[in-house]
Amino acid sequence: MKRKGSPFAGRRADTPMPVHESEAIVLQCYALGEGDRLVSFLSRTMGRVRGVAAGARKPKSRFGSTLEKLTYIRIWFFERESRELMRISQCEIIESFLDAFRDYPSSVALALFSEITETVLPDREASDANFRLLLLSAQTVKRTGKPELPLAYFTLWTVKLGGWLPALDRCGSCGNALLEDSPAHFSSSTLTITCGKCRKAGTRVLPAAALALGRRMLGERLEKVVENAGSDLSAARAGRELTNAMLDVTEHQIDRKLKSRDLLEPPE
């Protein structure tokens, strides 16, 4: 019996909704059933979305390599009123990152980009800033083959956009300015950065170079940071230190360990 006044009166429960078209970045892809794939992707217009690509695992699938991790695509998909998962109808590759995945350090950075984005962003909440951050960081790793600075930039700005970033220029305890040429101390339990006088047991040293790099990344574009660093090994070391601190913040917020982090080389 139809309910009078219901907005769905006269419509079947599984009626297809209008097709959506969007730029997107593939985050994760899983086998589903005998020949389908379950795909998690970051849509520029709808945020993080999950959908089914029917027949994507079959040899002559129309999807080809469009659903590889971090592939930048144009995607067409639609939803049904009674189902949570979207139905993916078509994809076109805008940019592939398969070559970058063949380099081990680059592949680890790209895996972290994917896992962090998949974990921290809510379902179906558009964020153009996070979309641009992910794409820019992946493109920089692909272009340079040097993942340390793009990874530091990505983790820093992910924490910043999430509203979790501790102050990088003042002590989180006494409020005094941190000296530019002196290391600070980072607490992964309280997520604060403190000066030497306020240091507490269990904190980790955060080198002055890592703090300076973080402050620079908040005010400069990634391309400029990478250009200025050149082949400076100290910049790469500072990037690794900054990355580890930002990963601590991220893991504290999501309340679990990031699987891809185990593949990272420890800071020298």
Residue intervals in the chain for CATH 1.20.1440.120: 100-262
Q: With bands split at pLDDT 50, 70 and 90, how would you rate the model's confidence at 6?
A: very low
Would you place residue 97 in the very low, low, confident or very high pLDDT band (cuts 50, 70, 90)? Answer: very high
CATH number corresponding to 100-262: 1.20.1440.120
What digits encode the pLDDT tens for the residues 7-24?
434 445 455 566 899 999
pLDDT tens-digit readout, 41-57:
999 999 999 999 999 99
As a residue count, the chain comes to 268
Which CATH fold topology does 20-96 show? OB fold (Dihydrolipoamide Acetyltransferase, E2P) (2.40.50)
Q: CA–CA distance from 227 to each of 132, 139, 149, 230, 243 (Å)? A: 19, 15, 11, 5, 19
pLDDT in tens, 168-215: 999 999 999 999 899 999 998 899 999 999 999 989 999 999 999 999
Within the chain, which residue ranges are assigned CATH 2.40.50.140?
A: 20-96
Kindly indicate the confidence band of residue 232, based on its pLDDT and cuts at 50, 70 and 90: confident
Res. 103 pLDDT band, cuts 50 70 90: very high
